[in-house]
């Protein structure tokens, strides 16, 4: 496994270099390596199974546990501690894991271990002394490195199989695309069970001997303090986080103005958020794109190539097409499904051969399920999800377009649009909005605003206000949790 060997070499080559600073402590190269050896020995004594669960807060403990798992030639299964207990138990059984490397507060957070969990508590370990030095078991690039469970749009979580080669390829692609160096300082708050938190904020800095600053909880004031204290050069977040940072009265260019990259992903970046962040910090937010199945990054709009609403061109060695419903390749400026292939594309879904087969077309391209279009220069624009497309009076309508219109209204913090049955038109748009502080809900005004920016048939028939829209662990709005029966609660 080239990636593990590369990381081990970096840790040994820079034993006194601080690779990680988290809420509790610093982790130098040799500290991480020794911790991984200790954890590996504990895992060996706890389980003989081929897969090991990791359920830890965003911290230096996570990479130590991950490296320990790989040293033993095992597969890591990062667990989303925000799942329901039923879903956590399902993941443990589906992945075939019993040993879960964790900490007591995390177990308390989920209400205690589920039936299949055999907790291996970090608090019970001593990292003092030098355990037997471990030589990592040799594994090929096709060996399974991680199972990342994604909830998808419906049903039970499914395990995305990412190989050692998939992860290594995506790190190389991103490093080359954005010219990362060991001088970069990455500020991370995204959970490490998430593909972006795993690949970009955890593995990439280890692989190039950069520095990662982790904090387990998103607190805007603390992010600003960390940015200023450590002179962070890279920050990755979702739009709602950027909005919260821009709203901080104490924030200024001295806090985040040194960023080379402020990257947004997960959901559309409202123009208002991008503008207010730029005005406050002097940094242009650039959007990226990718999925768990792609390790995850496939596109990134670098600041020098900034185009509003574009997620940029495809990374090196990512072949990307836009196709119609019959799989025919479309020219620029036409909407279709985004399909792609490359060394970063997953091996498939764990124990789901039929879904794996359906995820790829006859040419071996991964079917993303996302709709998008290229401009004449190859910059990608995401327009929606195929399964979330509405058909209103025979016309295809994507929720994203309506949401972008709503998000331009000063009262709207965030929005989500779903379809509702309609006798005359078959389906109609139903919108939900989360309001900015200090604004009152005015449905008539919002519908009037939509009429100014959308075709009449796209204007939501009804708009409802919610105190908070449902979000997943990374803050992405979950439209599937909203139904026509979901009422306003303001």
Q: What is the CATH number of the domain that holds 458?
A: 3.30.300.30
Q: Does 205 lie in the same domain as 148?
A: no
**Mean pLDDT, the chain, whole residue set:** 93
Q: Does 272 lie in the same domain as 209?
A: yes
Q: Does 113 lie in the same domain as 24?
A: yes
- Asked if residue 423 belongs to a domain, the reply is yes
Q: Does 378 lie in the same domain as 252?
A: yes
Q: Which domain holds residue 426?
A: 389-481
- Asked if residue 138 belongs to a domain, the reply is yes
Mean pLDDT of 382-398: 85
Residue 95: name the closest of 296, 349, 294, 347 by CA: 349
Whether the per-residue pLDDT at 2 is higher than 90: the answer is: no
Beta pairing class for 412-422 and 118-121? unpaired
Which one is predicted more confidently, 38 or 155? 38
- Asked if residue 356 belongs to a domain, the reply is no
Number of domains in the chain: 3
pLDDT of 230 = 98
Q: Does 234 lie in the same domain as 129?
A: no
Predicted model pTM: 0.88
- Asked if residue 490 belongs to a domain, the reply is no
Q: Does 127 lie in the same domain as 28?
A: yes
pLDDT tens-digit profile of 141-179?
999 999 999 865 446 889 999 999 999 999 999 999 999
pLDDT of 155 = 65
pLDDT of 153 = 45
pLDDT tens-digit profile of 188-210?
999 999 999 999 999 999 999 99
pLDDT tens-digit profile of 418-457?
999 887 788 899 999 999 999 999 999 999 999 999 989 9
Q: Does 223 lie in the same domain as 141?
A: no
Q: Does 231 lie in the same domain as 151?
A: no
- Asked if residue 442 belongs to a domain, the reply is yes
Q: Does 290 lie in the same domain as 435?
A: no
pLDDT tens-digit profile of 89-131?
999 999 999 999 999 999 999 999 999 999 999 999 888 877 7
- Asked if residue 360 belongs to a domain, the reply is no
pLDDT tens-digit profile of 130-150?
776 667 777 889 999 999 998
Q: Which CATH number fits the domain that encloses residue 268?
A: 3.40.50.12780
Q: How confident is the model at residue 473 (pLDDT cuts 50, 70, 90)?
A: confident
pLDDT of 388 = 85
Strand partners, 264: 237, 287
Strand partners, 367: 339
pLDDT tens-digit profile of 209-261?
999 999 999 999 999 999 999 999 999 998 889 989 999 999 999 999 999 99
Mean pLDDT of 392-409: 89
Q: Does 214 lie in the same domain as 329?
A: yes
Q: Does 197 lie in the same domain as 149?
A: no
pLDDT of 393 = 79
* Final residue of a structural domain among 133, 167, 201: 167
- Asked if residue 174 belongs to a domain, the reply is no
Which residues, including other chains, have CB under 8 Å from residue 51's CB and lie 6 or more apart?
74, 75, 76, 77, 95, 96, 97, 147
Report percent pLDDT > 90 for the chain. 81
- Asked if residue 488 belongs to a domain, the reply is no
Q: Does 190 lie in the same domain as 145?
A: no
Mean pLDDT of 282-299: 96
* Final residue of a structural domain among 106, 133, 167: 167
pLDDT of 396 = 79
């Amino acid at each position: 496994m080239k990636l593990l060997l590369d990381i081990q070499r970096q840790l040994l080559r820079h034993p006194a270099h601080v690779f990680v600073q988290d809420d509790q402590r610093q982790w130098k190269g040799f500290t991480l390596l020794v911790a991984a050896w200790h954890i590996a020995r504990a895992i060996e004594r706890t389980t003989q199974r081929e897969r090991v669960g990791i359920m830890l807060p965003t911290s230096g403990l996570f990479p130590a546990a991950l490296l320990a798992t790989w040293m033993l030639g095992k597969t890591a299964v990062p667990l989303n501690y925000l799942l329901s207990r039923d879903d956590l138990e399902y993941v443990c059984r589906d992945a075939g894991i019993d040993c879960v490397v964790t900490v007591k507060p995390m177990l308390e957070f989920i209400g205690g271990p589920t039936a299949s969990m055999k907790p291996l508590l970090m608090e019970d370990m001593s990292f003092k002394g030098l355990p037997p030095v471990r030589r990592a078991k040799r594994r090929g690039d096709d060996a399974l490195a991680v199972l990342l469970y994604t909830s998808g749009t419906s049903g039970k979580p499914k395990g995305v199989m990412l190989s050692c080669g998939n992860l290594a390829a995506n790190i190389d692609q991103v490093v080359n695309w954005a010219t990362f160096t060991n001088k970069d300082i990455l500020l991370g708050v995204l959970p490490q069970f998430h593909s972006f938190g795993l690949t970009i904020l955890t593995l990439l800095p280890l692989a190039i001997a950069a520095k990662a600053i982790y904090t387990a909880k998103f607190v805007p004031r603390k992010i600003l303090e960390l940015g200023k204290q450590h002179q962070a050069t890279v920050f990755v977040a979702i739009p709602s986080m950027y909005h919260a940072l821009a709203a901080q009265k104490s924030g200024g260019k001295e806090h985040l103005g040194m960023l080379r990259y402020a990257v947004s992903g997960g959901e559309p970046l409202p123009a208002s958020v991008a503008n207010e962040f730029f005005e406050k910090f002097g940094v242009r937010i650039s959007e990226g794109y990718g999925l768990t199945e792609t390790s995850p990054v496939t596109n990134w709009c670098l600041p020098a190539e900034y185009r509003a609403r574009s997620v940029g061109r495809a990374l090196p060695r990512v072949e990307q097409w836009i196709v119609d419903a019959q799989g025919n390749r479309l020219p620029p400026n036409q909407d279709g499904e985004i399909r792609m292939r490359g060394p970063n594309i997953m091996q498939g879904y764990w124990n789901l051969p039929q879904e794996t087969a359906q995820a790829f077309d006859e040419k071996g391209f991964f079917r993303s399920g996302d709709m998008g279009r290229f401009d004449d220069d190859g910059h990608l624009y995401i327009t929606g999800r195929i399964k979330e497309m509405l058909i209103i009076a025979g016309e295809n309508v994507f929720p994203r377009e309506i949401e972008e219109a709503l998000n331009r209204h000063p009262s709207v913090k965030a929005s989500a649009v779903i379809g509702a049955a309609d006798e005359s038109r078959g389906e109609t748009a139903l919108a939900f909005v989360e309001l900015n502080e200090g604004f009152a809900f005015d449905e008539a005004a919002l519908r009037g605003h939509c009429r100014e920016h959308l075709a009449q048939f796209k204007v939501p028939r009804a708009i409802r206000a919610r105190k908070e829209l449902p979000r997943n662990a990374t803050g992405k709005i979950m439209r599937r949790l909203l139904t026509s029966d979901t009422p306003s609660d303001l």
